[in-house]
Structure 1
Amino acid sequence: MTGRAIGTRLALAQARSEAARARLSGTISALQRRATPRALAQDMAETLQTRGIIALNGVVETARRRPLAVGLAVTLLSLFLARHRIARLVRRRPAPRAIPATSPKRGSSK
């Protein structure tokens, strides 16, 4: 190899190195922007919103295909959530005591 060829290869390697360094710097900057708490919270909110919509669409589709099963499931869930209130309503209460008839006292003039 001649000195000129080595110099050309060296310049080309340096240019590639600088380009790679610039790409790495850009990647690091992008990661730093994405790693801020606000950006992370926004990404999480968008992900949850998207997954919630997908799940809701699935539930609606299931309800359309099997309305009786979904209605039964909702009823059972409602009864489970209200079980303490229902138990209070159904719980036996003591029977009201009968008030004994008062008889006139002996020796009274009435």
Structure 2
Amino acid sequence: MFGDIMGMMGKLKETQQKIEETKKRLDSVLIDEQSSDGLLKVTLTANRNVKSIDIDESLLEDREQLEDYLLLVMNKAIQKATAVNEAELGAVAKDGMPNIPGMDMFK
């Protein structure tokens, strides 16, 4: 019994390490999003850190329009980054979970 527990603890520790490595790797995965007309472009990491924002000069003339563009494009980019982040971390967590009877919530 204790061997099983120790084995599970080792597996959980290994999984935690893999999760941390995946988080670091996701800092280099870039998500690009732009407005439908290409006037505003943003780039985020899969960890949802903003890397760049490119604004066309024409948007600088209308503050309200620029704000609308920023909200729309940033939210789309965050949604994409979140999907990539959750899929990657979920795969690592699922793969690394020890087989504990009754704990099949990741299947």
TM-score (norm 2): 0.31
Q: Highest Rg: 1 or 2?
A: 1
Of Structure 1 and Structure 2, which has the larger fraction of its residues in strand? 2
Structure number with the bigger relative contact order (C-alpha 8 A, sep ≥ 6) is: 2
